[in-house]
Chain A
Amino acid sequence: MIARNNNGRGGRPTLLDLLNRTTLRAVLTAVLLVGISNAVIAVLLVRTQMDHNLELLGRAAADTVEAAVVFDDREAANEALAKVGAGNNLAAIRVVSPAGEELAAWTRAGAGGGWSERLVELILKQPHCVSVVRDGAEIAEVRLWGYGEPLLRFLIVSLLVGVLAFAASALVAYRMSLRAGRKIVRPLEELAQVAHAARCERQFDRRIPPAAIEELHSLGDDFNALLTELQSWQEQVALESEQLTYQANHDPLTGLHNRLFFEKKLAARVEHARKAGERLAVFFMDGDRFKEVNDELGHEVGDQVLQGIAGRLRAALRETDIVARLGGDEFAVLLSPVRETEHAVHVAHNIMSRLEAPLQLPTGDLRKAGLSIGIAFFPDHAGDAADLLKCADQAMYRAKKTNPGSFVVAESPRGQ
């Protein structure tokens, strides 16, 4: 009746099992109690009725048999008994004289010794005796035995009806408990799913739908509120981490990438280019007479000049090119891939032409900010990132020495 194989994980019963089992037990107890008390009442009623019936039949038999007894007419007495017995629920009637002599008797054909008789004897005092009185004296005694067949039928039908009633109420209770159980279990399952998603997949945007049961509803509400807090907390953390990442990779003054990021990228691109057989170019750039600006106009103006240079550098390059401030007034550009030297030269010209126009300073002064550029190619000038940057740096120094504001391509290593 109870599905024990339907257990949850770890051999623990599921909530639904527990509910079903509890409901079934309650129904079983209720139906059994009601059934037993009904059966007891029914048996008592039947017993009273049968007793009454036997008394009436006994009186009727005594009446009809009286004259026959008085006239000692046994044939008539037997016929009278048969008349009383045939139409009624009697197994046997006997008329016995006060001396104990049997005067007349009638027995139902097929009755006696069976289950039904034993059943009647169980609930009823057998035989039922009624005196035959004539002129104030007892002239005989009528003894009646009830016929159990109808009682047996009644009990069997009662039992069947009881079993059917039990089955029907068990079914109804099972369905109701299933429905109630679903009302309880579904919100809990949703809660579990959402909690699992939040824990394992960091999905904080899922919410538990409203439940039909007050306690579960408020539990869901509280859980949702907790999820909202977790979500905003998570977003805050993500934002902060994003900011930290940005700060780690960027120069705070110009918003360009910083040296750390540039060196990492350069190393990675060199590796990639080595494998792919591609060329790439690195520009090493240094501001011309930047120290003078700082000294004459102060660091703030110097910073603004650096920001202006950064803006023009970005404008001169493609999105895929990397431009970084390596520190002070040093900048670097990474172009990859570069098919022809001409392309790098073109970019250098572009940078220089963009720096032709003087920068507008907050003081209202206009000031030209020149850059000396050293260009080195991989794999032409160096085999790794550090050497490549060093080559570009050396080329930049040569440019600055010979003609500030120009660019120089690194010399090819000896032997090439």
Chain B
Amino acid sequence: MAAVAGPGAPEASVQKAVAQRVVALIGYTRWPAAPDPYRVCIVGDARHATLLHAQDGEAHGYRFAVRTFAEAAAPTADCDVLYLGAMARPVREAILARWAGKPVLTIGEDEECAGALMFCLAVRGDGLSMRANLDSIARAGVKVNANVLNLFGRRKSPE
């Protein structure tokens, strides 16, 4: 695994933070029908999400079913949460296009947070940063608690 985390943020703490954020986002998201367990699909090179596997089973009062897919074999159904690792933008957009309008929470590892992703995680020198794509969230088949959106609303979407 490439050491993307900065000098002040060892990989272990980044992993922990990623898992924590994903679980928190799930907590603030409402599906048309409450999933049980939450089917978390990790796609591609999710280098900071390895700890997410640890959530398989039961954690934080939720039940999780975590599966991993290759970029090429991205799932088109049976996912409540889609975690996309770092990948070429066209590939990612293609995967997301297949999920358009479906009740799925999409989170990706992306610095710029452009395109159809709802939430983006990026490891910076000082730790983990998270961005929201309000347009994508508005179009999504799941509803995100406004309190969470307030956290991002104050930060204008990049460019």
Contact = CB atoms under 8 A, between A and B. Distances in A.
B61 A135 contact: yes
Contacts of B61: 135-136
Interface in A92-136: 134-136
B151 interface: yes
Contacts, number: 32
A67 B152 CA distance: 11
A134 B154 CA distance: 23
Interface residues of A, number: 15
Contacts of B150: 64, 67, 76, 80
B27 to A, nearest CB: 6
Interface string A33-71: 000000000000000000000000000000110111011
A329 interface: no
A149 interface: no
A135 B27 CA distance: 8
A76 B27 contact: no
Interface string A285-308: 000000000000000000000000
B28 interface: yes
Contacts of B21: 71
A321 interface: no
Contact of A67 (B17, B145, B154): B145
A71 B24 contact: yes
Contacts of A134: 27
A73 interface: yes
A240 interface: no
Contacts of B54: none
A368 to B, nearest CB: 154
B86 interface: no
B159 to A, nearest CB: 21
Interface of A is mostly: helix
A67 B20 contact: no
Contacts of A222: none
Given A73-B151, A79-B154, A67 B60 contact: no
A205 interface: no
A95 to B, nearest CB: 14
A64 B151 CA distance: 10
Contacts of B154: 76, 79
Contact of B60 (A64, A71, A76, A135): A135
Nearest to A76: B151
B65 interface: no
Contacts of B60: 135
A314 B61 CA distance: 149
Contacts of A73: 151
Nearest to A135: B61
A79 B155 CA distance: 12
Nearest to B17: A72
A68 B27 contact: no
Given A71-B148, A73-B151, A135-B61, 13 more contacts: A64-B147, A66-B147, A67-B145, A67-B150, A68-B151, A70-B24, A70-B27, A76-B150, A76-B151, A76-B154, A79-B154, A134-B27, A136-B61
Interface of A: 63-64, 66-68, 70-73, 76, 79-80, 134-136
The 4 closest A-B pairs by CB, nearest first: A67-B147, A70-B24, A76-B151, A67-B148
